[in-house]
Copies of this chain bind each other. A is one copy, B any other.
Amino acid sequence: MALDPLSTTFSALADPTRRAILSKLTLGQASVTELAEPFEMTMPAITKHLKVLERAGLIERGKEAQWRPCRLRAEPLREIEDWVEHYRTFWEQSLDRLGAYLKTVTAKKNSKEKKHSRMKHFQSD
């Protein structure tokens, strides 16, 4: 079944090796051999990952017959950011709630400690 473009991008990113390949390509173009090096993977395995990234439009391969370097194409990631931005309010709300909760817990803890220290002071008098 053909995926819609956003699903294709999300699916391509759902793998740590593919994300590491993209990360490496932020430093500049690289050959397949150079990309394969850090992963201790067979060439067919790396080639399969590159095909997934290429189909998602996240990399492009050079036309040079000898080494066909891979380059990063970040445009599809802008779509991901557009999509995720709609949810910012929601994770910020829950961070606010967590902040408020921690404030209450700390306040309670401080008030208990004060009480305890007053009692110790009272006992040592």
On A, residues with C-beta under 8 Å from B are 3-4, 6-8, 10-11, 13-16, 19, 22-23, 26, 72-75, 77-78, 80-81, 83-88, 90-91, 93-94
Majority secondary structure, A binding face: helix
With A10-B10, A11-B10, A86-B26 as contacts: A94 and B74 at CB distance below 8 Å: yes
Q: Which residues of B contact A88 (CB under 8 A)?
A: 81
Considering the chains assembled together, what is the distance between the CA atoms of A34 and B63 in angstroms? 51
In the assembled complex, 20 residue pairs joining A and B whose CB atoms fall closer than 8 Å, in A order, are: A4-B16, A6-B16, A7-B13, A7-B16, A10-B10, A10-B13, A10-B14, A26-B87, A72-B87, A72-B90, A73-B94, A74-B87, A74-B90, A74-B91, A74-B94, A78-B91, A80-B80, A81-B81, A81-B85, A81-B88
